[in-house]
Amino acid sequence: MSPSVQATAGVAAVVDDRVLLVRRTDDGTWCLPGGRVEFGESITACAQREFEEETGQQVELTGLLGVYSRPDDQVHQYPDGDVVHFVGVVFEGRAGAPAGPLAGDTSEVRWFAAAQLPSELMASDAPPIRDALSRRARPVID
């Protein structure tokens, strides 16, 4: 399959230097809750839907963290060989009430201390996580 570019939306939920991450079932990496925008869906609706599907919790979006598109950070090869260049819009948000079961592409949900992020972190999520934990001015355009 040829490389593709996809619009994605994610949510960085950070509380007291802790980050909420989900473990992917396809490659075992940890990442921010998020995913591809569906046809006819707004970027905010996508972020809320993906967060709920992947964490089993609702989310209150509190602001725009940034837009991430640098090829050095935002190109990912999936286990099936697909190569995708993400243009990611990442929001900051607060995790809310439980909303339902986890989606089939999520095997685990866990809060991580900033100093103890997992080594199996999806590379494209490292920049937004770094920015979410920093005092860098928002929104970040990278």
Which pLDDT belongs to residue 4? 79
Which pLDDT belongs to residue 62? 93
- Domain 4-134: CATH superfamily, name plus number: Nucleoside Triphosphate Pyrophosphohydrolase (3.90.79.10)
Which pLDDT belongs to residue 1? 59
- Other beta carbons within 10 Å of 139: 16
Is this model's pTM higher than 0.85 or not? yes
Q: What is the mean pLDDT of each successive set of 10 residues along the chain, which is 142 residues long?
A: 76 86 93 92 93 92 94 87 89 85 88 95 93 93 90
Which pLDDT belongs to residue 16? 76
Which pLDDT belongs to residue 121? 95
Q: Contact 34/9 with Cβ under 8 angstroms?
A: yes
Which pLDDT belongs to residue 31? 94
Domain residue ranges of the chain, discontinuous segments joined by +: 4-134
Which pLDDT belongs to residue 52? 92
Strands 14-15 and 140-141: unpaired
